[in-house]
Amino acid sequence: MREVLANRAFRRLFSAQVIALVGTGLLTVALGLLAFDLAGGDAGIVLGTALTIKMIAYVVVSPVMAAVTSRWSRRRVLISADLIRALIALGLPFVGEVWQVYVLVFVLQAASATFTPTFQAVIPDVLPDERLYTRALSLSRLAYDLEALVSPLLAALLLTVVSSNSLFVGTVLGFVISATLVGTTTFPTRTLAAPSPFISRLTSGLRVFLRTRDLRALLALNLAVAAGTAMVIVNSVVFVQAQLGRAQSDLAILLASYGAGSLLVALALPRVLDRVSDRRVMLAGAALIPIGLLAMAGVLSTDAAWAWPLALPVWGLLGAATSLILTPSSRLLRRAASGEQRPAVFAAQFSLSHACFMLCYPIAGLAGAQLGLAPAGLILGVVALLAVLAAGLTWVPRGAREPAPHRVQL
């Protein structure tokens, strides 16, 4: 990891990512408190709608902005997205109507849907060596996992000394500092392809996915990840508080178990990927998701005393399985496209993976409410199993040559 962080450009970009993630984490807590101030007992409806808007922005906006900004300076794209997010966070404390929250959330998440794929597409150029790039992916995964653990704790500490609106100030500072770090980073030069029609640029990432077997398999694995994650995110609170009647702090412990499983795998994966192919690692992780969901269904089927201690390792298993898929996934995207196509390919992955979440979140919620938590786990387990089978049948067999970057006319 030291070797990766010795690269000045990556070090600055990684710092920008971490700081922006902390700001986003503070914003999540602050938005929940704002929703309660505006809607009271209907705050859950407001937050649910805001999360739906977030997913719509991710699915729709990401490929559009990749096409719009394809010839812009990458520094300009990242700084603009950070500053837009800072302005929106600055305005959120002053809203007085729920619809205003929805509009601002859409604009903020549209900026995030622009920032994240652009950021991800820059890193392969900053670290062209695959060994170093793999370690950078591990660090990035660690950043996401640690943010999920640290940001709520930081928000709780801040709320003991400041008002909830002050959390928005922390969010603004995070985005401004991120923009400053990006602005002081030296980006590798790139050769731009000849200008092409907008529709061609809009669909170029999707066309690379459809023509590349590894990426078609990745699309199926995205569905498996979404099935496991949706069950954890949507139904953990119901299991802990409604079914087991445990304290709110135990929900944090259960989610921390999920995060810890992901974190431990992210730490170990760079050395594993030096010796084992991406295909074997990712399919192994995918196979663990339906197993984990089946085990989760067993735990969720009872409120007996043994359910809680068994839940912790099951949630940890699902976190580990998710990291086995997500950490190496960017290596597939890097290999599948040449430099000028990477922003479109990363944007397509960002959009398609969140489309899978848009499918699985309602299944987890509706099945859990109408049929019960255990049947919901079984249903999503079947979804994950079908996704794993599709990925295994689609992917290039072991021993086949790695595909060369697939060039699609932009």
Q: What are the DSSP E strand ranges found in 327-410? A: none
Q: What is the pLDDT of residue 152?
A: 63
**Alpha carbons 229 and 130: distance in angstroms, whole number:** 28
Q: State how far the alpha carbon of 192 is from the alpha carbons of 74, 195, 297, 342, in Å.
A: 12, 8, 51, 12
- E strand or H helix at 303: none
**Alpha carbons 141 and 105: distance in angstroms, whole number:** 25
Helix axes 130-159, 166-183, angle to 10 degrees: 160
Q: Are 93 and 163 in contact (CB under 8 A)?
A: no
Mean pLDDT confidence for 113-123 = 89
Q: CA dihedral defined by 372, 375, 380, 385, rounded to 10 degrees?
A: 170
Highest mean pLDDT among 42-46, 49-53, 97-101, 227-231: 227-231
Amino acid sitting at position 257: S
Question: Residue 276: what are its φ and ψ, rounded to 5°?
Answer: -120, 140
Q: How does pLDDT run across 29-46, given as a tens digit for each residue?
A: 787 778 777 877 666 677
Q: Are 183 and 75 in contact (CB under 8 A)?
A: yes
Q: State how far the alpha carbon of 299 is from the alpha carbons of 25, 79, 296, 307, in Å.
A: 29, 46, 5, 5
Q: What is the CA radius of gyration of the chain?
A: 21
Q: What is the pLDDT of residue 195?
A: 61
Lowest mean per-residue pLDDT among 171-180, 258-267, 375-384: 258-267
Q: What is the CATH number of domain 204-395?
A: 1.20.1250.20
Q: What phi-psi label fits residue 240: left (phi over 0), alpha (psi between -120 and 50 degrees) or beta? A: alpha
Q: Do domains 1-185 and 204-395 have the same CATH topology?
A: yes
Write down the domain spans for the chain. 1-185, 204-395
Mean pLDDT confidence for 343-368 = 89
**Alpha carbons 219 and 212: distance in angstroms, whole number:** 11
Question: Residue 147: what are its φ and ψ, rounded to 5°?
Answer: -60, -40
Amino acid sitting at position 302: T
**Alpha carbons 223 and 410: distance in angstroms, whole number:** 27
Residue 408 has pLDDT above 90, yes or no: no
* Greatest extent of the chain over all pairs of C-alpha atoms, in Å: 65
Sequence-ordered list of residues with C-beta below 8 angstroms from that of 215, at least 6 positions apart, any chain: 208, 209, 332, 333, 336, 345, 349
Secondary structure class of 7 (helix, strand, coil): coil
pTM for the model stands at 0.83
Mean pLDDT confidence for 161-188 = 87
Q: How does pLDDT run across 262-317, given as a tens digit for each residue?
A: 989 988 998 899 899 999 999 999 999 999 999 999 999 888 888 999 999 999 99
Query: Which residue in the block uniquely carries the two structure tokens 């944090």?
Result: 252
Q: What is the pLDDT of residue 156?
A: 67
Q: What is the CATH number of domain 1-185?
A: 1.20.1250.20
Judged on CB neighbours under 10 Å (0-12, 13-18, 19+), 170 is: buried
Q: CA neighbours within 13 Å on the CB side: how many for 355?
A: 14
Give a three-class secondary structure readout of 89-143: HHHHHHCCCHHHHHHHHHHHHHHHHHHHHHHHHHHHHHCCCHHHHHHHHHHHHHH
Residue 407 has pLDDT above 80, yes or no: no
Q: Are 30 and 79 in contact (CB under 8 A)?
A: no
Residue 140 has pLDDT above 80, yes or no: yes
For the chain, the first-to-last Cα distance in angstroms comes to: 35
Q: How does pLDDT run across 187-212, given as a tens digit for each residue?
A: 887 666 556 676 777 788 888 888 88
Token digits of residue 57? 């922005």
Please, what is the average pLDDT of the chain? 85
